[in-house]
Amino acid sequence: MVQTLTYVAAPRTIAEFDIDGLVRLGQQAGGIIVMACEVGDTLVENTVLLQVHGAKAALPESDLMRAVHFAFERTSEQDPKYPIRLLVDVAIKALSPAINDPTTAVQAIDQIDDLLRRLGGHDLDAGYAHDADGVLRLIFPMPTWEDYLALAFDEIRQYGSDSVQVMRRLRSALVRLADSMTDDARIGAVERYLKQLDASVDRSHLTAEDQQTARQEDRQGLGLSRRHAQTKRLPP
């Protein structure tokens, strides 16, 4: 038996799942609740919200709806993508031709760098919840590490490819992010983004000399090529 719950109300954004409440409902039904939407999604009329698989009897729709909290806009309570999205918006707006403020973009990357380092140390594959007996009762979508990297870097890399300052700061963020982690898969994903950054520099309108400069990592964007400055002073 599969019970499907469809959203039938004015557009709202999913702000939070009541994980414990949904697990209890799944246990009560003897089935598994599978969320069709994720935190941060905006629901419109007739959007499938969830399905209950293997239940002995249908659950009250009102109980299921109470376990999903809605808001008029996204929040950061269970949606770490949202603050990253806001910071990316600040960065790409600063990089627009009408504003042309790469220093503000670099300051936004500073905060994105910090958020990604914090996320990199956590289990991001946590979209499964079990009851007290260890039985799976809830499956809900969660962003992967690659999803976070795409959100954090893709648009800034695309809009900032002609900015030496932005390219240097992005490289510093990626290099140091890889250095801060121990998981090989996540490090590999960051290294693939470094290759994409190189490709963006190659396709940019920068001169050959500026492209070479853009490939130097620098936490300030245009301040100090730290890695080169430090290694030159090391004794032989």
Taking the chain (236 residues) in runs of 10, the rounded mean pLDDT of each run is 95 96 97 96 96 95 97 88 96 95 96 94 85 96 94 96 96 95 94 96 95 92 64 56
- Supply the pTM of this predicted model: 0.86
- 8 A C-beta contact, residue 13 and residue 40: yes
Considering the domain boundaries, does residue 170 fall inside one? yes
User: Based on the domain organization, do 67 and 184 belong to the same domain?
Assistant: no
User: Based on the domain organization, do 60 and 100 belong to the same domain?
Assistant: no
Structure tokens at 58: 């249908």
Q: Which residues pair with 16 in a beta bridge?
A: 69
pLDDT given for residue 233 in this prediction = 53
Sign of the C-alpha dihedral computed for residues 40, 143, 96 and 118 taken in this order:
positive
User: Based on the domain organization, do 168 and 65 belong to the same domain?
Assistant: no
> Domain range spanning residue 102?
81-124+144-224
Identify the CA nearest to 108 among candidates 147, 163, 146.
Answer: 163
Burial environment of residue 190 by CB neighbours within 10 A (0 to 12, 13 to 18, 19 or more): buried
Q: Which residues pair with 14 in a beta bridge?
A: 70
pLDDT given for residue 121 in this prediction = 83
**Domain tally for the chain?**
2
